Amino acid sequence: MFKKSVHIDLMYTELPYEERFAAAKADGFNAVEFYVEGWEDKDLPRIKQLLDENGLVMSAATGATPYTMCDPLQRDDYINHIKKLVEACKVIKCPMLMCHSNLLDPETNYAAKVLPYDYSDTRKVCAMYDVLKTIAPICAEAGVSVTLEPLSDLAHPGYFMHDFKICADIIRAVNEPNIKGLFDCYHMYIEEGNLSADLEKYIDVIGHVHIADAPGRHDPGTGDINYANILRTLSKLPYNGYVAFEFYPIDGTPKAIEAINRVLDGLDVN
């Protein structure tokens, strides 16, 4: 049985930030997630208080860093930044950081930032393996898992880990229980298409799932993905992690919640 969560940096934007926690709870969510970048400027104790007051927990937080995991020259900087993010996770009791292979550059519409050298794919995989082996025990000691997120090369040109096979191979090689994969259905639909088959194939390494329709990254039912079938498939698999609704509502949050409830109808979900 999977659990549901909602991304309150993308949803409930009609409300002041502090009111989004109560709104998510009122809509039947017991967990939320958001971006943790810029945590130095966030009032983390206040966020923890809002979580507690509304009977919510964190499902995950985006652990993007100003560094690139697959660049061996950025190894130490990447690891040191993850250590800082782990300290932030401790404050808000966040159990999971969602991490990328590359730094995404907002100045190029979030294409992958160009690497200083033309590394081979093998060198990039080795760099990621090294980083993950190093941060796994650091994160585990704090009760934090790491999920690697493949992103579509179409949506984020130049991004290295753009299919789930690469992601799964790295996770299996690292072989640490707190290193898993983030199966973002939006990205994997664009990149590979066979969502139900891939969920079944890779379920042993999947630690988190994201939902958004394609094209557009909007509400379920506004694009090409049959989420009622996808989530029915997932509900039959040995997966008890979170399914997080991370999308940009087309017509406001209330309509988006209706769309979420439609694709969850008939499923036993926490």
Q: What is the pLDDT of residue 37?
A: 63
Q: Flag whether 185 is in a domain.
A: yes
| Domain contains 188 | yes
Rounded Cα gap, residues 216 and 117, in angstroms: 33
- The verdict on residue 156 lying in a domain is yes
175-197 per-position pLDDT tens digit: 999 999 999 999 999 998 899 99
Residue 37 placed within a domain: yes
Residue 270 placed within a domain: no
State the burial class of residue 158 (Cβ atoms within 10 Å of its Cβ: 0-12, 13-18, 19+): middle
Asked if the structure places residue 167 within a domain, the reply is yes
Q: How far apart are CA 97 and CA 79, in angstroms?
A: 13
For residues 105 and 65, the model is more confident at 105
- Give residue-wise pLDDT tens across range 74-95: 999 999 999 999 999 999 999 9
What is the total residue count of the chain? 270
What total of structural domains would you count in the chain?
A: 1
- Quote the tokens at residue 106: 């907002």
Domain-located, residue 13 = yes
Mean pLDDT on 155-169: 95
Question: CATH number for the domain including 151?
Answer: 3.20.20.150
Q: What is the mean pLDDT of residues 188-213?
A: 96
> Which domain, by its residues, includes 257?
3-264
In a domain? residue 269: no
